[in-house]
Chain A
Amino acid sequence: MQAKLKIRRFNPETDKKPWWGEYTLENVHRTDTVLDLLHRIKWEQDGTLSLRRSCAHGVCGSDAMRINGANALACKTLVSRLGSGKGDVINIQVEPILGLSVEKDLIVDMEPFFDHYRSVMPYFINDQPVPADGRERLQSPEDRHRFDDTTKCILCAACTSSCPSFWADDRYVGPAAIVQAHRFIFDSRDEGMNERLEVMADTFGVWRCRTIFNCTNACPREIKVTEAIADVKKAITSGKV
């Protein structure tokens, strides 16, 4: 089939304001990903089109974009999922994710996102001596299961950049940072819970969440983000996990 792509373009070096680039591709297959199509445009038609990508199968988290109005990874979005197309033509609109400033075309400034990530102390805290037998700490499968979902996060920013609370005020840590905090707060081996819950209870922590569920819908790893945020809210109010 044929694909018609409208891509939001902006290069501050040369453009005063963003514009829509329009591209037509022939011989598009239903199993092609949006990343495949963007590559074809970049390689065959216009090498100035700029985007981030790496693994191309939904694991590295480089290519979160707004595709037909919803956040997704370009490499995990198949043409077949964007509708059957009218006749033999499919229309696809691609924009950078929202809430982070555009550096060029589909590339946004990720630094504010990673600042929020770092603010939740996203690392294992346990100052107790390790087991004397030189082996692993023990953890039951049930305890391990409690935070399994949030270990899947690939920091692609699809959730945070789909969140109206984040759009409204980018001082809000955002769902991705809360997911990271959750991964440690609910790990039975970790001892940093109190410090993390303090960050989470801050003005720009979990209470900014209005349970809109955009984050859950946007997550390419199918993490139950809103549920994780609710877990953290509960931990703050009850003081226990």
Chain B
Amino acid sequence: MKTHVFDAVIVGAGGAGLMTALYASRGANVAVISKLYPTRSHTGTAQGGIGAALGNLEEDHWEWHAYDTVKGSDYLADQDAVDILCKEAIETVVELEHMGLPFDRLPNGRISQRRFGGHTNNETGKPVMRACHAADRTGHMILQTLYQQCIKNKVNFFDEFHVVDLIRVDDTIRGIIAYEIATGELHVFHSKAVHFATGGWGRCWEVTSNAHSLTGDGTAICLRNGVPLQDMEFFQFHPTGIYKLGILITEGVRGEGGILLNGQGERFMERYAPTIKDLASRDVVSRAIFMEIQAGRGINGQNYVHLDVRPETVNKYNELAGDPKRIDRAYIEEKLPDIADFTRTYLGIDPVEEPMPIQPTAHYAMGGIPTDVHGRVLIGAEKRVLPGLYAAGECACVSVHGANRLGTNSLVDLVVFGRRSGAHIAEYCREAELLPLPTGTGQHVQADFERLRTGTGGMKPFELRRRMQKTMTDNVGVFRTEESMSKAIEDLHHIRHDYETRVQIDDKGQRYNTDLLEAWELGCLLELAEVTAFSARARKESRGGHAREDFPERDDHEWLKHTLCARDEDGHYSLDYKPVVLGRYEPKKRVY
């Protein structure tokens, strides 16, 4: 096994990993390790915008952004962290511009902003223009810009190295183990600090906006290394995925005036969210779509509704609302070029001419690896810092998203907490010592891979993945019940048993053995699916992304608390809870 030595290792090269790397590398010798080329990371698919109360078009305040975030979270977010998120969003977006990010511009040269779900003027309750954007490829521009800056600053990259374990000895961190995809060789990265920025695990579900590579590796690795995971029952279903495909259609479409219509041609969001309508929080809109479909009001009775951004529709509703804004084909081509491209490519539909068929799609993990506001990983209800271990971005849970994330806030989270983690890592590495590697480092990883490589049980990984995705979709989706979640837990138990005893792959080689790595990734997905179902069944209330038919109300008396789910060596899960950090905003009924 080759050994490399760095002060800090950053796992994942999306927005959070790269922002952390930029800041950490100012004071420490850092390596960024990614199973993909950095520009393939999923940050690049974020579309609509990054929220920051710049107030470039109308009055706005970071406190309004904070209130919207807390309300969006169904009061489960920690309000101290939300304040930091929304306050620092402003300077961080400006910093991105200074790094060269090509935001769209207003006639006065300032960054252009648009409306987005759940972002409001707190006085009127009406949507506010807060999402800073570069057409509908804002995430692409953030990822490119951060990668460019890393090249400029000569950050060390190990591309196509797949991190498969953390080296933790008691309460100290010694590095990570990575599998070199090109050669099949295991490498040890010996370091003082490790930072996980490995993104989400939407591939637990059938219909998802997530990349094939989003298998929750870092989160699963932390779980296996004794880090209880926080709030895993909260997974966001984005309301507007392309029917059957799950490809995301940005909320920016509704921000530009697009509306949702059911099979009767009714703008049904007027019933569910009378003030803010189609721009209500994502959980609210996803449930509304689901209920319309359940009531037989899908398009032609099928499992989808329409998202309509045709100029005549948008202009008609703008006129009704007394909004002077009128749009045309050129406007859509300019503001939503990628959306138009997606629907033309995959549906053969021109969004200027026809409405788009959409359904909710598994999109974003609110839960994950618990951290403080410096990205330091926290263990258990006592929030004990594990020195040298960090996380940021979707894999982490600060918690700023609580039970439901507001649109644009994932990008804010990446850059704000990536920056803070990076700064803290640089400081930590100045003082911390490099502790020796334990004997036998990597042996059990080698054994795990050998088992996967030589398994003869005749069961293909994809069959198990399909079974997992089906039960998660049927039983731990937009709506849940005690019965459905128990069914999922039972199914997952059998699937895991088959995974451990019967899985068999075809590729026995060393080079680019993606067959082997996909099988390994499935192990991560399975554990995170189990944690999700297990955490969800215990929470007997409905809050944000966790909606139960058998407990339809939010219950602050019993459940205004964060879940923590641990896994013991035998694969048993146990739950604990810790309080929510409250602040200016008292929990109250959530109405849009």
Contact = CB atoms under 8 A, between A and B. Distances in A.
Question: Are both chains from one complex?
Answer: yes
A78 B345 contact: yes
A52 B512 CA distance: 9
A59 B109 contact: no
A46 B506 contact: yes
Given A44-B460, A59-B45, A103 B507 contact: no
Interface string A58-77: 11111000000000000010
A38 B111 CA distance: 42
Contact of A60 (B45, B100, B515): B45
B134 A123 contact: no
Contact of B151 (A11, A57, A122, A143): A122
A8 interface: no
Contacts of A6: none
B514 A51 contact: yes
Given A11-B509, A50-B514, A141 B91 contact: no
A136 interface: yes
Contacts of A27: none
B335 to A, nearest CB: 12
Contacts of A155: 37, 39
A103 B44 contact: no
Contacts of B513: 50
Interface in B210-255: 211-213, 245, 247
B443 interface: no
Tell me if A's interface is mostly helix, strand, loop or mixed: loop
A234 interface: no
A152 B139 CA distance: 11
B42 interface: yes
Nearest to B504: A47
A117 to B, nearest CB: 9
A60 B109 contact: no
Interface in A148-203: 148, 151-152, 154-155, 184, 187, 189-190
A54 B211 contact: yes
Interface string A115-137: 00010011110100010001111
Contact of B105 (A46, A121, A139, A154): A139
Contacts of A60: 36, 39-42, 44-45, 211
Interface stretch (B69-77, B141-149, B351-359): B141-149
A122 B148 contact: yes
A212 interface: no
Given A11-B509, A54-B212, A144-B104, A103 B460 contact: no
Contact of B109 (A13, A124, A138): A138
Interface in A93-131: 103-105, 107, 110, 114, 118, 121-124, 126, 130
A19 interface: no
A54 B104 contact: no
Contacts of A48: 506-507, 509, 515
Given A44-B462, A124-B145, A187 B100 contact: yes
Which range holds the interface residue count of chain A? 35 or more
A136 B104 contact: no
A20 interface: no
Contacts of A121: 152
Interface residues of B, number: 60
Contact of B98 (A105, A136, A144): A136
Nearest to A140: B109
Nearest to A60: B40
Nearest to B46: A59
A61 B109 contact: no
A62 B109 contact: no
A84 interface: no
A53 B212 contact: yes
A141 B152 contact: no
Nearest to B39: A155
Q: Identify which of A13, A59, A61, A103 gathers the most chain B CB atoms within 10 Å of its CB.
A: A59
A124 B509 contact: no
A54 B40 contact: yes
A123 B107 contact: no
Contacts of B141: 151
A7 to B, nearest CB: 15
B510 interface: yes
A54 B111 CA distance: 31
B509 A123 contact: no
A110 to B, nearest CB: 7
B201 to A, nearest CB: 14
A143 to B, nearest CB: 8
Contact of B507 (A47, A56, A62, A107): A47
A104 B346 contact: no
Contact of B462 (A43, A114, A138, A144): A43
A42 B515 contact: yes
A104 B514 CA distance: 11
Given A50-B507, A136-B94, 18 more contacts: A13-B510, A47-B505, A47-B515, A48-B506, A50-B512, A54-B213, A55-B211, A55-B212, A58-B341, A60-B42, A60-B211, A78-B345, A103-B511, A123-B100, A123-B152, A124-B100, A134-B91, A154-B44
Interface of A: 11-14, 31, 42-44, 46-48, 50-62, 76, 78, 103-105, 107, 110, 114, 118, 121-124, 126, 130, 134-141, 143-144, 147-148, 151-152, 154-155, 184, 187, 189-190, 222
Interface of B: 36-37, 39-42, 44-45, 91, 93-94, 97-100, 102-111, 134-135, 137, 140-141, 144-145, 148-149, 151-152, 182, 211-213, 245, 247, 338, 341-342, 345-346, 460-462, 505-507, 509-515
Closest A-B pairs by Cβ, 10 of them: A124-B100, A138-B109, A47-B506, A43-B462, A47-B515, A123-B148, A123-B152, A136-B97, A60-B40, A48-B507
12 contacts: A42-B515, A53-B212, A55-B40, A58-B341, A60-B41, A60-B42, A61-B39, A114-B37, A124-B145, A138-B105, A144-B103, A155-B39
